[in-house]
Amino acid sequence: MKRNHLIRKWILSFFLLILAAVMVFPVVFTLSNSFMTEKEISQSYPSESDSLQDINAHQESFSHLKIIPEQFSLEQYKAFFEMKQSFIDKEQSNMKFYGNSVLMVFPIILGQLIVASLAAYVFGKLKFKGRDTLFFVYMVTMLMPFQVTLVPNYLIADQLGLLNRFSAIIFPGIFGAFGVFMLRQFVMTIPYSYIEAAKLDGAGHFTIFIKIIIPYIRPGLAALIVLLFADYWNMVEQPLIFLDDPSKFPLSLYLSQIIQNNRGVGFAASILYMAPMLFIFGFAKKYLIKGIQLSGAKD
């Protein structure tokens, strides 16, 4: 019996190892190719024009996936930082698009942390008529597909004169419902006795929120940062719809153009694009797991 259990464990571990290798391979492949020279990349991955020439010459062209560079080089990263793109009457560097991503994502994260934590305290610990009904209606918005809210958000942004501005993306992101739902589950685990004891000592809602609620939901805040960053760092639809000026696009939207124009620089840009997400995930992994577990907890 023990032997059969051990065999099943080894088989499961083997399949999980294969699955992990499949998931990690694209990252390893992109990282290794980012350190290749442009000449080596051109030889390994023929462009569409090269393939058409080969077809006309009745020759087959294949791409050979390479993991280990023949010559270690940082020229792709150097080219990424030095390369500039022309937009109408001005030039913008690739780092401009990286900065655009930062200017859109970090205000959304900071704003939603503040709004969601305050709303979670209200829905989780304050008692008032219609609280549960209001919370249910608020959560219904979380179940709506993102595409459903695009048109109303666009019309509102147009009426407020926010189109082609970062604020047209930032404001809807700040008031997302998911953060409220997640942090409320953390707030619900705080005993009411702590709140009552603070009130007996003369503490108001602001003091209770700062001294009791925030310290207890700190793991939830860390988990929410990871989830929000992963969501908005990879956004494509919002900037594509709300921004008309290509020079204001985030790197998530412009990355495909970099890869199309220069494959070598595209590998380096992809690594620089993934680096913040990998760093944040590695730093707050345990909080993310705990946050997901508690987000499914019952009241």
CATH number for 174: 1.10.3720.10
| 151 domain-assigned | yes
| 92 domain-assigned | yes
The pLDDT value recorded for residue 202 is 87
Q: With both helix axes pointing from N to C terminus, report the angle between 218-233 and 94-125 in degrees, rounded to the nearest 10.
A: 140
Residues of the chain short of pLDDT 70, as ranges, are: 1, 45-64, 84-92, 290-299
Q: Can you tell me the distance from the alpha carbon of 238 to that of 226, in angstroms, rounded to the nearest whole number?
A: 19
The pLDDT value recorded for residue 1 is 61
Domain extent, residue 133, equals 87-295
The pLDDT value recorded for residue 168 is 92
The pLDDT value recorded for residue 288 is 72
| 167 domain-assigned | yes
Token couple for 219: 């793991």
Give the count of domains, the chain.
1
The pLDDT value recorded for residue 293 is 65
Partners of 92 in beta bridges:
85
| 42 domain-assigned | no
| 101 domain-assigned | yes
Partners of 84 in beta bridges:
93
The pLDDT value recorded for residue 84 is 65
| 220 domain-assigned | yes
Say whether pTM exceeds 0.95: no
| 113 domain-assigned | yes
The pLDDT value recorded for residue 33 is 86
CA-to-CA dists, residue 141 to 134, 148, 236, angstroms: 12, 10, 20
| 18 domain-assigned | no
Q: Which of 139, 144, 168 is nearest to 156 (CA)?
A: 168
